[in-house]
Amino acid sequence: MNTTTKRKRNTSHMGHNVAKLRSFLGVKQESLAQDLKLTQQQVSQIEQQEKIDEETLIVIAEYLNIPVDLLKNFDEDAVIYNINHYNVHDNTFSDSSTAQVFNPIEKIVELYERLLESEKNNLNKK
């Protein structure tokens, strides 16, 4: 009998999550570094760490205006699954047992719009 199993990731690489979400939101390492009073190299090092201390995660999450849990547990495969199985026409999921309450793309767009507004405000202050 020939069986195959999928390897399930039970740990999340927090640094990669920071990099992915930062990138999705259109934030450059340099911008994040400047606002957090770090160097770009320090941000790069943070994004290479599998585990990031809670204080740093909180500061990054606040800057990106996202929940800390999203940085800790972001699962790109789950997001892609939900995007592929979300029926936009009638606002239902094809498989409700794995459905999330929110549409991740809408959340990313909302966060990106907030970031743009924040950047505009920062430019106006200067």
Q: What is the pLDDT of residue 112?
A: 79
Domain boundaries, the chain: 14-125
Check if the beta carbon of residue 82 is closer than 8 Å to that of residue 100. Answer: yes
Q: What is the pLDDT of residue 37?
A: 92
pLDDT digits (tens, 9 = 90+) for 4-36: 444 444 457 899 999 988 888 889 999 999 988
Q: Is 12 helix (H, G, I), strand (E, B) or coil?
A: coil
pLDDT digits (tens, 9 = 90+) for 37-52: 999 999 999 999 999 9
User: How far, in Å, CA of 92 to CA of 117, rounded?
Assistant: 31
The superfamily in CATH containing domain 14-125 is lambda repressor-like DNA-binding domains (1.10.260.40)
Residue 3 has pLDDT above 80, yes or no: no
HSE-CB for 16 with a 13 A CA cutoff: 8
pLDDT digits (tens, 9 = 90+) for 67-87: 888 888 887 777 776 666 664
Among residues 109, 3, 21, 113, the alpha carbon closest in space to that of 67 is found at: 21
Report residue 57 CA to chain centroid gap.
12
User: How far, in Å, CA of 64 to CA of 28, rounded?
Assistant: 11
